[in-house]
């Protein structure tokens, strides 16, 4: 049944593209559908050549409704003559460089099929980026992007609340893993926190931001992810600092923040016993495993510093027939028998794809972080300032948390990241005052 529904959706991509090309206002509504389909990513995805038991960052050639919608949008904009420009900024070019520098690892990969799973995912993410950026370039309608992300956060919160009150100790919302959910909410939550500080509760935009912000914080804390909880002050503290840096209506922003401090302290007091339990009763083996896998990654990098062992081939190289566990065990002084994924994105990319690919990924990440700082100066006083302030806090927390987690390689987290990168690229390449009414007229 799922394959039949997917086939109908795939066949309907071209008629949908034709319909969207007739009126960009319909494409605006398609973003709302995209936000809902993100919440149903797994249930609307089909894995071609899947390997469900594989313990890697990609387990199949996954095509979801999100990507079909992105394809329809790109085709629709091309039919209107409004596509293109997605590669006009440095950020997407750095992503392509990162992608190209991952390809040499294919020549040393033990299993080209599982490598293709990750390559396919990277191509789908580029398609998604192109759809969001092209829409923004054609319409200037950044508000739709922010509202779609707010809907995604709110729906995720509803899933989290339902799971929590159903007895799930660490709910994962609509994400495949609780740590991924915590990282995703920590990326998006500061945007709506900054929106609330800027607009207050007595406007439709401010109320939406307040609801999404509250949901993001609640979801993050109920995940009981230690890394995410440690990054909460960083993400929201930097977003608040950036909001006050604007110096516009600072007194109102301070007045809006004081109740949050009181509510936050009350919530922290109620959740403190479980938070303390989460840190105090965490098994010692958890910390040891991180060290063990980091040593295994170091051995892989030492063997193949320029190509790595093959993209998405980490788990294959952790089988008992491979020497990395034994060599790392000799360094640590005991046998390693665990076959999980190294708990940091940076070591994982370096071990699988080599030092050049890691350098390109770091440049890609760094470009958007420094771009946030640039836009904070350039967009002061505009309607988009709060979004950039929140992205600055969320990106910083995500980059730091990725030193302790590999979940940024999961598809839903990367889709959220591409949403924000497309928005930043548009703001960077648009005119100096990008705030304008969207042009959603028919041709």
Which one is predicted more confidently, 2 or 236?
Answer: 236
Cα separation values, 439 from 22, 24, 165, 259, 436, Å: 13, 8, 44, 38, 9
How many angstroms separate the first and last alpha carbons of the chain? 38
DSSP character for 103? G
| Residue 252, pLDDT score | 76
Which one is predicted more confidently, 215 or 267?
Answer: 215
Structure tokens at 145: 């992007």
DSSP string, 112-174: HHHHHHHHHHHHHHHHHHHHHHHHHHHH--HHHHHHHHHHHHHHHHHHHHHHHHTT-SS--TT
pLDDT band at 49 (very low <50, low <70, confident <90, very high): confident
Q: What is the pLDDT of residues 380-439, one digit of tens each?
A: 888 899 999 999 999 999 999 999 889 999 999 999 999 999 999 999 987 544 444 445
Which one is predicted more confidently, 339 or 411?
Answer: 411
DSSP character for 80? T
Rounded Cα–Cα distance for residues 374 and 363 (Å): 16
pLDDT at 24 over 60: yes
Instruction: Average the pLDDT over 121-130 and give the result.
Output: 95
| Residue 441, pLDDT score | 47
State which of 53-57, 267-271, 328-332, 422-426 shows the largest mean pLDDT.
422-426
pLDDT at 325 over 90: no
| Residue 289, pLDDT score | 78
pLDDT band at 442 (very low <50, low <70, confident <90, very high): very low
| Residue 5, pLDDT score | 59
| Residue 421, pLDDT score | 97
Instruction: Average the pLDDT over 69-77 and give the result.
Output: 91
Give the closest residue to 116 by CA, choosing from 353, 315, 311. 311
pLDDT at 117 over 90: yes
Instruction: Average the pLDDT over 315-319 and give the result.
Output: 82
Give the closest residue to 68 by CA, choosing from 29, 17, 112, 24. 17
Q: 432: burial class by Cβ within 10 Å (0-12, 13-18, 19+)?
A: exposed
Interacting residues of 44 by C-beta distance below 8 A, sequence separation 6+: 6, 9, 37, 64, 65, 66
Give the closest residue to 399 by CA, choosing from 387, 390, 408, 409. 408
Q: What is the pLDDT of residues 270-314, one digit of tens each?
A: 666 666 666 666 665 566 778 888 888 998 999 999 999 999 998
pLDDT at 56 over 90: no
395: left (phi over 0), alpha (psi -120 to 50) or beta: alpha
Rounded Cα–Cα distance for residues 403 and 168 (Å): 27
The whole-chain average pLDDT of the chain stands at 85
| Residue 339, pLDDT score | 67
| Residue 130, pLDDT score | 94
Structure tokens at 276: 């303390």
Sign of the Cα pseudo-torsion (148, 152, 153, 157, in order):
positive
Question: Helix (H, G, I), strand (E, B), or coil: what is residue 47?
Answer: strand
Domain boundaries in the chain?
A: 90-282+347-429
């Amino acid at each position: 049944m799922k394959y039949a529904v997917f086939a109908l959706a795939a066949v309907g991509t071209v008629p949908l593209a034709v319909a969207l090309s007739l009126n960009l206002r319909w494409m605006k509504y398609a973003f709302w559908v995209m936000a809902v389909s993100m919440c149903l990513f797994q249930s609307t995805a089909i894995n071609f050549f899947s390997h469900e038991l594989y313990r890697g960052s990609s387990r199949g050639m996954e095509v979801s409704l999100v990507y079909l919608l992105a394809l329809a949008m790109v085709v629709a904009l091309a039919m209107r003559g409004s596509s293109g420009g997605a590669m006009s900024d440095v950020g997407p070019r750095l992503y392509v460089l990162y992608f190209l520098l991952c390809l040499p690892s294919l020549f040393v990969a033990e299993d080209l099929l599982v490598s293709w799973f990750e390559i396919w995912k990277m191509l789908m993410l580029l398609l998604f980026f192109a759809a969001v950026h092209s829409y923004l370039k054609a319409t200037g309608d950044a508000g739709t992007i922010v509202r779609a992300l707010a809907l995604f956060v709110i729906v995720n919160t509803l899933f989290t609340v339902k799971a929590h009150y159903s007895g799930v100790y660490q709910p994962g919302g609509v994400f495949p893993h609780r740590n991924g959910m915590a990282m995703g909410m920590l990326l998006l939550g500061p945007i709506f926190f900054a929106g609330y500080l800027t607009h207050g509760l007595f406007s439709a935009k401010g109320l939406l931001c307040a609801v999404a912000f509250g949901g993001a914080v609640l979801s993050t804390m109920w995940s009981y992810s230690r890394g995410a909880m440690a990054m909460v002050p960083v993400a929201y503290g930097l977003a608040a600092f950036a909001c006050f840096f604007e110096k516009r209506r600072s007194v109102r922003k301070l007045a809006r923040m004081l109740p949050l401090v009181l509510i936050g302290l009350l919530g922290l007091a109620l959740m403190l016993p479980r938070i303390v339990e989460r840190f105090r009763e965490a098994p010692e083996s958890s910390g040891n495993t991180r060290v063990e896998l980091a040593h295994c990654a170091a051995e892989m990098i030492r063997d193949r510093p320029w190509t790595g062992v093959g993209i998405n081939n980490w788990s294959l190289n952790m089988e008992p027939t491979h020497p990395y566990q034994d060599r790392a065990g000799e360094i640590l002084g005991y046998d390693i028998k665990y076959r999980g994924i190294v708990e940091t994105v940076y070591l994982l990319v370096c071990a699988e794809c080599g030092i050049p690919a890691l350098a390109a990924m770091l440049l890609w990440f760094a470009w958007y972080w420094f771009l946030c700082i640039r836009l904070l100066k350039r967009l002061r006083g505009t309607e988009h300032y709060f979004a950039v302030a929140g992205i600055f806090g969320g990106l910083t927390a995500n980059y730091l948390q990725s030193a302790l987690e590999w979940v940024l390689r999961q598809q839903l987290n990367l889709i959220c990241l591409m949403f924000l990168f497309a928005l930043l690229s548009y703001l960077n390449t648009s005119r100096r005052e990008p705030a304008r009414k969207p042009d959603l007229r028919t041709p």
